[in-house]
Structure 1
Amino acid sequence: MSEHKPGRLYGVGLGPGDPSLMTVRAVEVIAAADVVAYHSARHGRSIARTIAERHLRPDHIEERLVYPVTTETTDHPGGYRGAMEEFYEEAAARLAAHLDAGRTVAVLAEGDPLFYSSYMHMHKRLAHRYPTEVVPGVTSVSAAAARLGEPLVEGEEVLTILPGTLPEEELTARLAATDSAVVMKLGRTFPTVKGALERSGRLAEARYVERATMSGERTGRVADVDPESVPYFSVAVLPSRVGAEPVADEGRGEVTVVGLGPAGPLWLTPEARGALAAAEDLVGYTTYLDRVPVRPGQQRHASDNKVESERAEFALDLARQGRRVAVVSSGDPGVFAMATAVLEVASEGPYREVPVRVVPGMTAAHAAASRAGAPLGHDYAVVSLSDRLKPWEVVAERLRAAAAADLVLALYNPGSRSRTWQVGKARDVLLEHRAPETPVVLGRDVGGPEESVRIVRLGELVPEEVDMRTILIVGSTQTRAVRRGAGEEIVWTPRRYPEE
């Protein structure tokens, strides 16, 4: 006598709420199932069952999976997580008994079964043991966009989907960095979500959708919603920015000086990414502007690297016309970069009322230091070797003072096509206070495609090997160079300074 075959498990996506948005496949699976299972709170009502009700038969075996807790507290010894784990195990065991008896089990799920759904907890416990099929469904994300009648994403835009249960700072960072977003699970999280939208500068464009496609549907602006009226089944939406009209309460223009970091998107902070996306005009040196993705509707104003004051004045003039302007700068804008130029012009009469904001970025010294180890682990000084804006005598005196104080030195702007002798002069000045064996980190194009990080000794530093894309980190008397493992050399400066 042969054993009977086990039943088949189905995770059935029902769509966002309107029964007419169920797929044909979902209807077929429910009609053929022996057992229909669905989750519900302790009050017994199940939204999933309500959506599928017209397709249920009198002879269906119904398994109601009742949550032991939802948002209230519990006296379970394992707390909320322990209570839920125990519930999922017990629910999976109940469904497994039907499957072992050869019955087909359809587990109903609002939206899509594998998108923030309780079905996935059954799937993880049962799918490896029984034949399983997941029937996808229309998600609340798609339903919300449809009810708003606004595109979610277009072209190269990025959509971020977030649970409202995240901490406000995490929500803020992610909302600032993305193009479009949907924040799920509002309800009691709504004040936190609204706060994150405000802090990220996105509140004015945020839309609210409640019970999309269901009775009692409501849409509007997040800024206008009473927090006390927000149910769990609601979402906040940041639609596509492409072609969007400026929102009415953006106010006057502003200039944001944005640090791009030393290279590439991995070095760009969420705040900087958001500031670039929100700008109507981008202003900057051509090489740096080329690192910013092109966005439809943005105006790009490129210029030569030697016209910083003119560039700052141009950006401030745009802002006086009501434009949101981002001035881009490599590394950190406040370290030998555009923030000073913008603020200097902004301190003059015609521009004093223009809002100016500085968004920091990873500076080249920290990037190069991270690749070499920890050479900046103790006190250090940052000096530009360029004598274009200050006399070389001033540079040399500052090098002597920092070297005499036994500071690690990060040397910016070491050389260019027109400046070829400064590195040699700086080496000679530092050798007055440093041993020739002092480790020197040469970081070139750190984070970029031509990255090169080498460790040499001060006495062997060859000026011809240094160009404008290189930063130098010169160790103090305490800095150590050590070979580890397969021979990799690292540099670090102890945090503890020896006592006299």
Structure 2
Amino acid sequence: MTGRLYGVGLGPGDPSLMTLRAAEVIAQADVVAYHSARHGRSLARSIAARHIREDHIEELLKYPITVETTDHPGGYRGALNDFYEEAAARLAAHLDAGRTVAVLAEGDPLFYGSYQHMHKRLAHRYETEVVPGVTSVSAAAARLGEPLCEAEEVLTIIPGTLPEEELTARLASTDSAVVMKLGRTFPTVRRALERAGRLEDARYVERATMAGERTAPLGEVDAESVPYFSVAVLPSRVDAEPVDRRAAGGEVVVVGTGPAGPLWLTPESRGALASADDLVGYTTYLERVPLRAGQRRHGSDNKVESERAVFALDLARRGRRVAVVSGGDPGVFAMATAVLEAASAEPYADVPVRVLPGVTAANAAAAKAGAPLGHDYATISLSDRLKPWDVIAGRLRAAAEADLVLALYNPGSRSRTWQVGQARDLLVELRSPKTPVVVARDVGGPEESVRIVALADLDPAEVDMRTLLLVGSSQTQVVRRGSGQEIAWTPRRYPED
């Protein structure tokens, strides 16, 4: 009869934070195993020392390398994989002999722990129990005495070993975060926090619950003093003390939310929305943004763009951090122009303004249909509310004569019902009536519909303000694939005369 395998979580370092179950398992085990670096000292063993008996068989699983280079033919990963295989074989020999094996793990065994490599190799072969432990994440939050996340906030656990760009994106887009594995990664993590605009909120916790424990604002920590057993923490934003930015001045960030909901948001945009004091925008677009405690919302009608821009700039002059929420990409028939136009005049010339890109409707619709924008294309709004129809017709004619694919925004609404028909009739004079047209409605939304029709068959009655039209060029192809799906694509090569 084979023995039983235990993965025993020991908590963050203080032996008194071990669970009763962890102590029971160690007491009943025949073999106690633990990992260490090449120096042979095991933190896990030191935590559990009072529970280890003289008659315990001890298995020290010593890593051949930690962060240094290796001449192993498989590189760093290959060297570690060989070590894990050898260590698992040593434990399997005890289990096959009927001995109970307890593998000690700091924190929780399945949370960035060494035990998990034994678990993956042995748990399917032997009866196994994992004893959870208090993680360093919970210990750090407890030592800071600050809530980690509350209500609908999202907590992100991030290894500091990620590339700086990835760290920055994840830190910008989350509510709360804990960055693990600092030490040599600390300078990169600090830069990422600063680039994400979160350094001011970041806290540092070193050796939580252990001797030598230290906490501090992360921005004040000397990189040379940071050990591996430390974490960076972004606590909950709920009920955080408001920051008075009047001395430094506020700012306006124009944020593109993409064509629909959160799946279309970039990490940078998500972070700007989360960190804003005020959200300003068309009410429909504001509803796409999650509610956050302490954040003010200022919704308005879709036809007051100039007034909305001035309102946002006035808030920023009073030291507020303002996000102007725009659908799609804010620079494509959206709010960026209105904000920048107002910001170019007195008294707003000194108010900082940033524009963050979003997925525009043309690109979203094209991706759903295939690749109709694969070659040169023109983007034209059919709305004659801000420019005369004669201008629109002239641009349609010029683009059609140039054989460009057309992305037609704002094709129709309840008050504009004839423009689509006029555009279709004009284009039929210059292009084949069989030219493919992608009719994309509510892309990314619950009523999404993407169809491909011939230009002559385009029905204006099926087009509304939530619809975007992509009119192909003479080269645009429509193919029905084996699954029955119909796709449109425009070749990147243009035929020679």
TM-score, length-scaled by structure 1: 0.98
1:319 aligns with 2:322: no
Q: What residue in structure 1 maps to residue 101 of structure 2?
A: 105
One-letter amino acid of the counterpart of residue 127, structure 1: A
8 Å CA contact retained: 1:205, 1:247: no
Q: What residue in structure 1 maps to residue 37 of structure 2?
A: 41
Residue 409 of structure 1 aligns to a residue whose secondary structure is: strand
8 Å CA contact retained: 2:164, 2:188: yes
8 Å CA contact retained: 1:257, 1:329: yes
Partner Cα distance (1:179, 1:66) in 2: 38
Q: What residue in structure 2 maps to residue 152 of structure 1?
A: 148
Aligned length: 496
Q: What residue in structure 2 maps to residue 349 of structure 1?
A: 346
Deviations 1:449-473 (A, max 9, x none): 0111111111111111111110000
Q: What residue in structure 2 maps to residue 137 of structure 1?
A: 133
Residue 347 of structure 2 aligns to a residue whose secondary structure is: helix
Residue 121 of structure 1 aligns to a residue whose secondary structure is: helix
**TM-superposed deviation, 1:248:** 6.6
The CA RMSD measured in Å over matched residues stands at 1.0
Q: What residue in structure 2 maps to residue 428 of structure 1?
A: 425
Partner Cα distance (2:354, 2:279) in 1: 14
Partner Cα distance (1:82, 1:465) in 2: 59
Partner Cα distance (1:327, 1:119) in 2: 48
Partner Cα distance (1:248, 1:123) in 2: 50
Deviations 1:80-138 (A, max 9, x none): 11111111111111111111111111110000000000000111111111111100000
Q: How does 1:373-452 map to 2 (within 5 A)?
A: 373-452=370-449
TM-score, length-scaled by structure 2: 0.98
Q: What residue in structure 2 maps to residue 358 of structure 1?
A: 355
**TM-superposed deviation, 1:486:** 3.8
Partner Cα distance (1:137, 1:291) in 2: 38
Q: How does 1:77-116 map to 2 (within 5 A)?
A: 77-116=73-112
**TM-superposed deviation, 1:177:** 0.9
Residue 292 of structure 1 aligns to a residue whose secondary structure is: coil
1:335 aligns with 2:346: no
**TM-superposed deviation, 1:391:** 0.7
Match of 2:457 among 454, 457, 460: 460
Partner Cα distance (1:487, 1:102) in 2: 59
Partner Cα distance (1:89, 1:41) in 2: 17
Residue 351 of structure 1 aligns to a residue whose secondary structure is: coil
Deviations 1:237-268 (A, max 9, x none): 11111111135779321111110100011111
Partner Cα distance (1:291, 1:77) in 2: 51
Partner Cα distance (1:247, 1:408) in 2: 49
Partner Cα distance (1:189, 1:386) in 2: 52
Partner Cα distance (2:69, 2:377) in 1: 52
Q: Percent identity?
A: 81
Residue 257 of structure 1 aligns to a residue whose secondary structure is: strand
Match of 1:51 among 47, 53, 56: 47
8 Å CA contact retained: 2:281, 2:324: yes
8 Å CA contact retained: 2:245, 2:320: no
Q: What residue in structure 2 maps to residue 184 of structure 1?
A: 180
Partner Cα distance (2:459, 2:293) in 1: 46
Partner Cα distance (1:146, 1:109) in 2: 20
One-letter amino acid of the counterpart of residue 63, structure 1: E
8 Å CA contact retained: 1:371, 1:453: yes
Q: What residue in structure 1 maps to residue 367 of structure 2?
A: 370
**TM-superposed deviation, 1:79:** 1.4
Q: What residue in structure 2 maps to residue 471 of structure 1?
A: 468
One-letter amino acid of the counterpart of residue 421, structure 1: W
- Which stretch has the larger CA shift, 486-495 or 314-323? 486-495
Residue 156 of structure 1 aligns to a residue whose secondary structure is: coil
One-letter amino acid of the counterpart of residue 413, structure 1: N
Match of 1:489 among 461, 486, 489: 486
Residue 108 of structure 1 aligns to a residue whose secondary structure is: strand
Deviations 1:37-60 (A, max 9, x none): 100111111110111111111111
Partner Cα distance (2:427, 2:299) in 1: 38
Q: What residue in structure 1 maps to residue 70 of structure 2?
A: 74
Residue 85 of structure 2 aligns to a residue whose secondary structure is: helix
Q: What residue in structure 2 maps to residue 62 of structure 1?
A: 58
Partner Cα distance (2:242, 2:353) in 1: 20
**TM-superposed deviation, 1:76:** 1.6
- Structure 1 unaligned blocks of 5 or more: none
Q: What residue in structure 1 maps to residue 192 of structure 2?
A: 196
8 Å CA contact retained: 1:375, 1:491: yes
Q: What residue in structure 2 maps to residue 232 of structure 1?
A: 228
One-letter amino acid of the counterpart of residue 387, structure 1: D
8 Å CA contact retained: 1:37, 1:62: yes
**TM-superposed deviation, 1:487:** 2.9
Deviations 1:296-324 (A, max 9, x none): 11111010111000001111111111111
One-letter amino acid of the counterpart of residue 231, structure 2: V
Residue 133 of structure 1 aligns to a residue whose secondary structure is: strand
Partner Cα distance (2:116, 2:291) in 1: 39
Q: What residue in structure 1 maps to residue 113 of structure 2?
A: 117
